[in-house]
Structures are given as structure tokens and as C-alpha cells.
Amino acid sequence: MRAHEAGALHGDIGSRGPAWLRPPVDVNALVPQLWPRNVTRDGDGVLAVAGLGVRDVAAEFGTPVYVLDEDDLRSRCRDFRTGFDGVDVYYAGKAFLCRAVVRMISEEGLHLDVCTGGELATALSAGMPPERIGFHGNNKSVAELTRALDAGVGRIILDSFDEIDRLTALARERGVRPRVMIRVTVGVEAHTHEFIATAHEDQKFGFSLAGGAAAEAAFRVLDEGVLELRGLHSHIGSQIFDASGFEVSARRVLGLQAQIRDARGVELPELDLGGGFGIAYTTQDDPATPQDLAKRLRRIVESECAAERLAVPHLSIEPGRAIVGPAVFTLYEVGTVKDVDGIRTYVSVDGGMSDNIRTALYDASYSATLASRASTAEPMLARVVGKHCESGDIVVKDEFLPADVQPGDLVAVPGTGAYCRSMASNYNHVPRPPVVAVRGGQARLIVRRETEDDLLALDVG
Ligand SMILES: Cc1ncc(COP(=O)(O)O)c(C=O)c1O
């Protein structure tokens, strides 16, 4: 169910919650797949990350605060690198980007996908080697393309005929031959456990395969000979658990690869399968490991290439959420607890839709735990809501928290590394929270908290 602009999400009202949500045997227990790998409860029952208690984090940095388990993030980079051995792994910076994270993923040997001038500037200012940057976007400006060429980015993913013309003109002017890929819209839409294969795609990204635009784009680039066409690119969705969407998309995109070979005698050397690999937000989700994903994707590509009598191209992927999502939790302080008779208990925290828009925007599900102490109280079905003037300002729709949760308690919401800080807003003039990286018991501020002065500095009227 989507949020209604006039009100709250109305599904599953009552004390039972959704069918999949079970009252926990131990309300203090942490479900391992939901939490960063170095999160535990310490001897006093306080949530701790890499040995540092969240009360200390809150005392030093305030709340709300995004807490990044740096070793968790690094280990997920390594899991993708080793699982996808021989495949270039582009971290999708749209999930969350700051200079410290650029350095982490670069040190772990990943490439980086950016999709605006701002993301490109962040990557370059953190020292990301430009040849390991891929530049996406359906409406890159001339200024952005110029910057990308001047920086020498490794590849530009073409998204429209206008862009082909723009980039061709810029490359001619400069006497350079940038490497490009063509983003193909393959008519597959995959979200969570379902995918839909359609003949055509009604969306703003890429060149339609079914309509013939993708083939025409490839022919135009090859025939003009100004840009170096490295391969085709397809990204089919987000939070995907079912590999069959990739199977249909690989079959379709490799069909185009064969068509290009037959028409122009060229076998493109690279293929990008995009990102979208799912993570666990609640106990409903059971994501595959990068090793398993790699095995399945490789098998799919090899068999489709064999069917088309194509050499297997050099592969790349673009995971964002699966790398940074599980490495972060948001720490909030409870301000009010309101029992709305017979319906549910609303636990209001000091952030909300300005630091996590995904619940309101996508009807996303999250989990939460009482973080500042252990409790002996019974589990109580709660809704964690924010402080914004919007009844759809919900952080966690349904979760069992201890019945004695009270103002001053800290609540932690896991799985908030992706598309939370990067989509954060200043709604209601709320300054955006900081990001703190914790490693070896030490906390390090990597994005500072916005201040009211920051907000007022923009208001020049
Ligand atoms: C082209 C492209 N690649 C990669 C991603 C990353 O997706 P995810 O963070 O779900 O892995 C996206 C997300 O929208 C995308 O549009």
C-alpha cells in the first residue's frame, strides 16, 4: 500500500501487525542479518558497535545520527570483490557518498558509479582515480560532460540521442575518444521477489530495446567513430532477490549484442548488469551472498552467450544498497510515547522523514530495537514515527519494542546506509544528521551535522 498524501499508512491496523511480524521471544535479541557485523549488546545490554556503546555515540555526536560500522562496509566491499572475481564492481554512489566512503571503497579495490556533477566532484576531491569512475545520468549537462571528459573518467553511460550528439561534439572539440556504454531498457522491472517482463518500457532511463532505439544508438556511435563503444548496460530495478529478472535481461541485452555483431561485425567487449541486489530490512528478507549471486549471474551470461555464439564479455556490476545499506544504523532519541487506544502505540523520535524518506516514499519496511538498555518488559507492537508535520512521517511501520519504552531512551533502526542520508531533506527546517564511522572502538565524524546557521546561510533574502 502507498502512503496517501492526506494521511498515515492505514494497513494492518491493530495490535497484531502484519502477518509476517512475530512477537520476539526475547525483545532484546538482535537478528544478525539485520545489523552491521560488529554490532552487539554489551554486558549492560547497551547496543555497541565495534565495542563502542551507543550512549557514548549519542553523548558525543547527539541524535539523530547515522552510525557506520566501517569494518562492516569494508568487508562487504571485499565480499563483492572476491565473490565477483574478475568482474569490475562499481559502488553506486547514489546510495550514499561522502569523501571518507570514497576512500574506503577505493582502498578496497572497487570502482565508483556517479550520476551528477556533485557526486563526481566528491569522488575526485577524495582522490578516486578517474579511470575507475563511471558516469551515469539521464540528463547530464554539457558542463557535467565537459568536467567528466576533462577529468578523464573511465566510462560514460549514454542515456539519450541528445547526449550522444552532445558528447560527440565535445569529444571532437577536444580531440579525445571517451569510452562509453549504452544504457539499454530491456523491458524487465524487478523489485523484491517479483519481476515483470514486458515488451516495452515506459520510463525515462536508457534506450528502448523493443522499440529499436538501443540498436540505433549503438549503430550511431559505431558509425560516427568518435566515441569508443565498450558495451551495453542494463539495470533492472532495486531490492531484487530473484535472479530470474537478470536472466531475462541478459538474454535480451545479449540478443542486441548479437544483432550489433551481425550488422557491424563488432563484438562489444564489455557488459554491465547494473545493481539492485536486495538486503535484509526485516526478518522477511533473505538476501543471497555475493558468491551465490556471482555464480548465478555468470551461469546466466555464459549460457546466453553460448546460445548467441558470442564470446563472454568482461562483466561489471553496480551494487549500492548491498554494500552500504547494512553497514549503517540510525540512532534516535525517543521524545514521546503515545498509546492510541486500541490501535497502536506511537513512539516519536527526534528525526523522521527528513533522515529516512524511504518509508513514506516507497512504503519500505524497517526494523528497530531499544538501544540504550536491555528491558525485561513484554514486547509491544509499536510504530516509530518522526517529528515532522506530516502524518505519513513514519520511520518503522510495525515493530515489537519493549512495553516500557520511554522518553529519553535511544532507539536504533538498522539498514539505513543506503538512500537515507543521500535522500535526506531539510523538511520543517530540520538540519540533516551527521554520519559517524566507528572502527576499533573509535568514533570518527565523517559528515558533520548541519546547523541552523547552515540553513540560515542559504536564506539570503
Ligand atoms: C544505473 C544504476 N546502477 C546501480 C544502481 C544501484 O542500485 P542498488 O543500490 O539498489 O544496488 C542504481 C540505482 O538506482 C542505478 O540506477
**What does the pLDDT read at residue 449?**
98
3-state secondary structure of 356: coil
**What does the pLDDT read at residue 177?**
98
Supply the residue whose CA is at minimum distance from atom 4 of ligand 1.
275
10-residue mean pLDDT profile of the chain (461 residues): values are 44 67 94 97 97 98 99 98 98 98 98 98 98 97 98 98 98 98 94 78 90 97 98 95 92 97 98 97 94 96 97 98 98 97 91 98 96 97 97 97 98 98 98 98 98 97 93
For ligand 1, the distance from its centroid to the CA atom of residue 232, given in whole angstroms, is: 16
Distance CA 207, CA 346 (A): 46
Residues with beta carbon inside 6 Å of ligand 1? 92, 94-95, 113, 136, 235, 238, 274-277, 318-322, 418
Alpha carbon separation from 367 to 172, 401, 411 (Å, rounded)? 52, 10, 10
Tell me which of 77, 98, 305, 389 is the catalytic residue: 389
Task: Give me the amino acid identity at 383.
Answer: R
Residue 451's Cβ-side half-sphere holds a number of Cα atoms within 13 Å equal to 5
Judge whether 389 counts as a catalytic residue: yes
Q: Give the pTM.
A: 0.95
Supply the residue whose CA is at minimum distance from atom 1 of ligand 1.
235
Burial class (CB in 10 A: 0-12, 13-18, 19+), 22: exposed
Contact between residue 325 and residue 95 where contact means Cβ atoms under 8 Å apart? yes
Burial class (CB in 10 A: 0-12, 13-18, 19+), 195: buried
**What does the pLDDT read at residue 4?**
40
For ligand 1, the distance from its centroid to the CA atom of residue 387, given in whole angstroms, is: 30
Residue 64 preceded by cis peptide, ω within 30: yes
Supply the residue whose CA is at minimum distance from atom 5 of ligand 1.
275
CA neighbor of 324 nearest in space, from 161, 168, 435, 220 = 435
For ligand 1, the distance from its centroid to the CA atom of residue 240, given in whole angstroms, is: 11
**What does the pLDDT read at residue 198?**
76
**What does the pLDDT read at residue 11?**
45
Chain center to CA of 373: 30
For ligand 1, the distance from its centroid to the CA atom of residue 237, given in whole angstroms, is: 7
Distance CA 57, CA 312 (A): 49
Q: Looking at ligand 1, which atom is closest to the CA of residue 418?
A: 9
**What does the pLDDT read at residue 201?**
78
Q: Which one-letter DSSP state was computed for residue 411? A: E
